[in-house]
């Protein structure tokens, strides 16, 4: 994973000479770095972040590409800016700790998942790229929300009494689980999306030859993303708690 320090002087964060007009047509939005990032971020509800270019964003905003380049001179600055905006929403949606440590972890994971479902274009990008999955290019004084989101989940796990290594392990497993679950929804891979097709194939295979198929296919075809996610989360947390108990008991022997 690429490690990028906060860069006040990084390319893409310095303004160029020749300030463009704030608006370029009666229907154009106010132009600023924040406005461009916010607009591009909204596009990820329907488009993959991987397909967004400076020109594409400028066209959608009804402004000239030079205006976008003025505020974000590199595509990396645009991509990281959008991902940082995404992680800001993740952080803003994170509930304050309440109840047991396990409930606090569950609440954070569920909130993160719900935000990911809103932005499938971000999910597709994070599923296939390592760059900017964690550390962002930010301007001086700007918060790196990728790091903050990482910290929020880490603190919740730490407060459950896990060691540094176990906090790292469980945090990584949960983040992979969130992303893969959201990707299944974004890519329409959840079985319920294909229920009609799956129900229709059962008659093509004899029960005697495929007993497992006949035993479970109709239920499989009814599985929806929310049930799968919540069940998987419980299993993951249960398993990790039992593992921690076994390790603690082994250490006492």
pLDDT digits (tens, 9 = 90+) for 13-34: 444 555 555 545 445 557 899 9
**Rounded Cα distance, 228 and 102, in Å:** 19
Structural domain boundaries of the chain? 33-189+223-252
Residue 28, pLDDT score = 53
Q: Looking at the domain covering 33-189+223-252, what would its CATH class be?
A: mainly alpha
Burial of 28 (0-12, 13-18, 19+ CB in 10 A): middle
Residue 7, pLDDT score = 36
Which residue, among 30, 60, 192, 31, has the nearest Cα to 121 in the 3D structure? Answer: 60
Residues 51-74, mean pLDDT to the nearest whole number: 95
Residues 173-201, mean pLDDT to the nearest whole number: 97
If one compares 22 and 46, the residue with the highest pLDDT of the two is: 46
Residue 209, pLDDT score = 98
The pLDDT confidence band at residue 234, using thresholds 50, 70 and 90, is very high
Residues 9-13, mean pLDDT to the nearest whole number: 43
């Amino acid at each position: 994973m690429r490690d990028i320090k906060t860069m006040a002087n990084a390319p893409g964060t310095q303004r160029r000479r020749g300030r463009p007009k704030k608006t370029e047509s009666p229907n154009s939005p106010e132009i600023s770095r924040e406005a461009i990032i916010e607009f591009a971020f909204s596009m990820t509800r329907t488009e993959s972040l991987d397909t967004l270019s400076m020109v594409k964003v400028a066209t959608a905003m009804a402004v000239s590409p030079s205006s976008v380049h003025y505020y974000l001179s590199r595509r990396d600055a645009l991509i990281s800016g959008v991902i940082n905006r995404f992680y800001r929403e993740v952080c803003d949606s994170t509930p304050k700790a309440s109840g047991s440590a396990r409930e606090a972890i569950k609440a954070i994971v569920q909130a993160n998942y719900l935000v990911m479902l809103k932005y499938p274009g971000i999910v597709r990008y994070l599923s296939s790229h390592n760059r900017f999955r964690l550390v962002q290019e930010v301007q001086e004084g700007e918060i790196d929300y990728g790091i903050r989101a990482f910290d929020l989940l880490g603190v919740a796990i730490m407060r459950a009494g896990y060691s540094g290594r176990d906090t790292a392990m469980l945090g990584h497993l949960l983040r992979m689980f969130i992303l893969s679950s959201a990707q299944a929804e974004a890519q329409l891979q959840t079985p319920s999306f294909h229920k009609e097709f799956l129900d229709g194939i059962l008659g093509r295979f004899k029960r005697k030859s495929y007993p497992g198929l006949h035993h479970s296919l109709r239920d499989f075809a009814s599985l929806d993303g929310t049930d799968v996610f919540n069940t998987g989360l419980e299993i993951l947390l249960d398993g990790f708690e039992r593992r921690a108990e076994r390790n603690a008991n082994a250490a006492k022997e």
